[in-house]
Structure 1
Amino acid sequence: MKRRTFLTFCSSTGLAPVIGSWAASPNETPNIASVGVGGKGWVDSNGAAKFANMRAFCDVNQGRTKRQGGFLLAANQWPKANRYADWREMLEKEGDALDGITVTTPDHMHAPITMTALKLGIACYTQKPLTRTIHESRAITAAAKEAGVATQMGNQHHNGRTYRTLVKLIRDGVVGKIREVHCWSNRPVWPQGIARPEGSMPVPETLDWDLWLGGAPDRPYHEAYQPFNWRGWFDFGAGALGDMGAHIIDPPVWALALGAPRTVAYEGPTPMPETFPTTERIRYGFSGTKYTAGDRLELTWHDGDKRPDLVANGLPAEFKLAAGGSLYIGETGTIVAGHGSNSLPEIFRDGRAEAIKLAVVEGVNHYQQWIDAIRGEGETTSHFGYAGPLTETVLLGTVVCRFPGITLEWNPEAMKFDNSPEATALVKQPYREGWEVEGLV
């Protein structure tokens, strides 16, 4: 019985599908497909294909790209792989043979593609942020649990030595319990805080603009959106916070075992109708945990030209912050860690660096961990059961940046803001007609 037929049978009879029956055995090479093979998609498809067989790939731009990789290079790299422009056609034709899929598209298409793959019992490696809306994160988290397949969000630094060592330091209480956290990024490095461009431009011959738009509202093509600047637009991306928050907010959420925020507030420029702000400060209020110094913890996100105060947070005035990172104010000192895997956390007490030999926790390959999990060898660490709630936390900030001057009160159980129907309206958003996916509408 084919996978699609089997899943339909299970749905009609109420039986739970045993998805694992399609998992590759430890002695087999899993078959994977990639949606998006340019830019970061080139990195993800190659990263996964080192440990798997690339059976098919898909990209809405079938010509050359200004960024690395792309359809033509993918065709040369994997000449035996089947090629598509439309991910729906690819999953329809290839789904029965696939063990896994990488999803590396603009944010607005993460959830529709991932949900469709999960419904087919296909393991998913989906780029960060996992989804564009809070409702999508909640739905994908539930669908992954029901499907029982290997999942991994593409926040690869979760498995790097910097973050793994940082989490150990915090949980070992090297600076005592944590009182406050700051995270920051130099993003955006693309236009934000701008208005919609007037008019339109000719669609590049090799780009299928309708497929690129997918579930987003229809609008004419313009280079202001594609191939990279989509991140700054509400309809397509999640701004600087969505791009980097899934990386940089990951270690405090992980190390401190934080649940859903209860409050969130924005400081920054007056919002524009369609794009994220040029700079922002987002204050999250969490309930305390056994790793925090009180019954409440504030985590502040800074991007654009905003940064945490050095001296006030236990660092020397001359200290140079990395382009992105996080710092943790504890009872007995401060830990600061740059974003990425090329550095290790530093410890400061009374404004002075402390020479300490760190117990480094070495990293593991994020892609290999996912492929191994497909084969039944271990589990992933940024599976959707973890990455979904993390993404939800990040996306609360992409909502509140449209409501300056108010502290939004988040009710995670009801999935609404108790004090703002207008903000709640952004938790779940519609899809363009013909692009609705079961499980998301």
Structure 2
Amino acid sequence: MENESNHQSRRNFIKSGAIAAAAFTIVPRHVLGKGFLAPSDKLYIAGVGVGGKGYSDLKSFHNSGKAVINFLCDVDDRRALKARQDYPTAKYYKDWRELFDKESKNFDAVCVSTPDHNHAITTLAAMQLGKHVYVQKPLTHDIYEARVLLDAAKKYKVVTQMGNQGASDDGVRQMQEWFDADVIGKVHTVYCWTNRPVWPQGIPWPSQAAEIPKELDWDLWLGTAPQKNYVDKLVPFNWRGWWDYGTGALGDMGCHLMEGPFTVLGLNAATSVEASVGSVYVDEFKRGYFPDSCPPSSHVILNFPATAKNKSAIKLHWMDGGIQPERPEELGPNEVFGDGGNGMLFIGTKGKMMAGTYNQNPRLLPTSKTQEVKVKQKYDRVTGSTNGHYAQWVEACLAGYGNKELSSPFEKAVPLTEALLMANLAIRSYDIKTQKDGKDIFPGRNIKLLWDNTQMRVTNFEEANQFVKRNYRAGWTLGV
């Protein structure tokens, strides 16, 4: 994560209990002692990764009326420009390690919206400083990292939230109420699907290096990832399709679409997973083999045991690349399935229900039942629904650890993240190649991977376990 002197300086800060810098006219609330409200009752936030989604996250925190954005950090000056214009008094850094070492006395919380491969290392460092954290989905790049953050949430007792804002939508609470009222019975099958990726996947790593933009610190952007040349258009978005940095369509949309089933059914750890993937052809007769890149499409089946809420084993199907399940017979021929491009479908012993991205527009099937069936409201709604996800975290931070309920704290976000990363583990295992009798073989295909959740390992295909925990680039460590 950082060199030893940086690591030690953070530890020294924690021990010293230093007070806020005199330059601030309103003292950040955390330095006044636990439970003490600053005169402004504002949450001071440092943003790490402030372009794109990071920018919109900061705007949403600011719009809550209870947050001050007082530090900005991004490795790319181009991506940071809009945030710097909107928050001209916020001090700007390129390296989050320098920000944390120099300024940790002066902010209460951190928003992490970097590429996936640097989520865990930044988040853990913030938690070790006692900072509340809001982290974009997926929470981590690897299953091991997710488990580390779960342990850290318990240890450091800071307020945590993953950026899957659909967890705060009214829709998931409506589906919970239908399910709890036994409207669809016990659920045995769930489908989640997406039209992503909308970036290149299933391709070889470009052979031609590109000139690094002068505004981009490429070494800092790489962070924990292996040293490689910069390639054209990798930043700001196409990194999602490369395993070194991103987690593919599952990482982008899995937390939005699988959150509903996890919450409604009380899912936790899957026991097994199997996958099949689409591919591209490099010529008329030869299929491409590009293990650095996520595939253009996939179908994954995760098997979950019965839960306290759902007394039936559950088979959860994930489909991406535009693949969709068969339309339910109860859905009219011209009715939209899910929200068109994405969706979730629950199949129970007494009926079915579906919703779109972020759990929005939940409907019973046939859709006429949606208005006909009346059940008592059981779950409080989040003020602002999906958009209220941000203010909910801000208010929870101001209230202090354990004093307000959150929609996606790490205790809930980690099992969800681990499930989609387990699906990715099966996808990546599909393309493990070796040789037998002079011929290429792929031993990870056409098998079901059995998962030991306690030990965090696949028990019947050892080669798959290389994807549970990756090796960081020299000079970077998770610090645990």
TM-score by length of 1: 0.90
CA contact (8 A) 2:344 2:355 kept: yes
> 1:52 aligned to 63, 67, 72, which one?
67
> 1:430 aligned to 471, 475, 478, which one?
471
> 2:185 aligned to 146, 171, 176, which one?
176
Q: How many residues align?
A: 421
User: SS state of the match for residue 361, structure 2?
Assistant: coil
CA contact (8 A) 1:23 1:99 kept: no
- 1:306 is displaced (CA, Å) by 1.1
- 1:298 is displaced (CA, Å) by 0.3
CA contact (8 A) 1:19 1:121 kept: no
> 1:390 aligned to 409, 416, 425, which one?
416
**1:408 counterpart letter in structure 2:** L
Listed as ranges, the matches of 1:122-133 within 5 Å are 122-133=131-142
User: SS state of the match for residue 278, structure 1?
Assistant: coil
Listed as ranges, the matches of 1:181-200 within 5 Å are 181-200=190-209
**2:345 counterpart letter in structure 1:** L
- Structure number with larger C-alpha Rg: 2
The runs of 4+ residues in structure 1 deviating greater than 6 Å are: none
| Partner residue in 2 for 1:356 | 372
| Partner residue in 1 for 2:407 | 381
> 2:425 aligned to 395, 399, 402, which one?
399
CA contact (8 A) 1:328 1:336 kept: yes
CA contact (8 A) 2:266 2:310 kept: no
| Partner residue in 1 for 2:362 | 345
Between the aligned partners of 1:135 and 1:331, the Cα distance in structure 2 is 36
- 1:224 is displaced (CA, Å) by 4.0
- 1:21 is displaced (CA, Å) by 3.8
CA contact (8 A) 2:240 2:246 kept: yes
Distance 1:122 1:22, change over 3 A: farther
The alignment status of 1:411 with 2:456, answered yes or no, reads no
The alignment status of 1:292 with 2:310, answered yes or no, reads yes
CA contact (8 A) 1:183 1:325 kept: yes
Between the aligned partners of 2:31 and 2:93, the Cα distance in structure 1 is 25
Percent of paired sites with the same residue: 37
**1:91 counterpart letter in structure 2:** F
User: SS state of the match for residue 180, structure 1?
Assistant: strand
**1:374 counterpart letter in structure 2:** C
User: Could you give the per-residue CA deviations for residues 333-384 of structure 1, whole angstroms, max 9, x where no partner exists?
Assistant: 110111136x4211115x9755425667644311111111111151322111
Listed as ranges, the matches of 1:363-378 within 5 Å are 363-364=382-383, 365-376=388-399, 378=404
Distance 1:107 1:235, change over 3 A: same
- 1:114 is displaced (CA, Å) by 0.1
The alignment status of 1:25 with 2:46, answered yes or no, reads no
**2:456 counterpart letter in structure 1:** M
Between the aligned partners of 2:304 and 2:396, the Cα distance in structure 1 is 32
Listed as ranges, the matches of 1:268-307 within 5 Å are 268-269=277-278, 272-292=290-310, 294=312, 296-307=313-324
- Give the aligned CA root-mean-square deviation in angstroms: 2.3
**2:53 counterpart letter in structure 1:** K
Listed as ranges, the matches of 1:106-185 within 5 Å are 106-185=115-194
CA contact (8 A) 2:300 2:318 kept: yes
**1:245 counterpart letter in structure 2:** G
* Structure 2 residue runs without a partner (length 5+): 1-8, 18-29, 280-288, 431-444
CA contact (8 A) 1:265 1:284 kept: yes
Between the aligned partners of 2:138 and 2:74, the Cα distance in structure 1 is 19
CA contact (8 A) 2:172 2:264 kept: no
- 1:24 is displaced (CA, Å) by 6.1
User: SS state of the match for residue 174, structure 2?
Assistant: helix
**1:45 counterpart letter in structure 2:** L
Between the aligned partners of 1:73 and 1:276, the Cα distance in structure 2 is 31
Distance 1:354 1:366, change over 3 A: closer
**1:57 counterpart letter in structure 2:** L
- 1:317 is displaced (CA, Å) by 4.5
User: Could you give the per-residue CA deviations for residues 161-208 of structure 1, whole angstroms, max 9, x where no partner exists?
Assistant: 122222222222211121211111111111111110012111111111
Distance 1:78 1:224, change over 3 A: closer
User: Could you give the per-residue CA deviations for residues 400-439 of structure 1, whole angstroms, max 9, x where no partner exists?
Assistant: 0022311100100111001111111110111111121302
TM-score by length of 2: 0.83
**2:469 counterpart letter in structure 1:** K
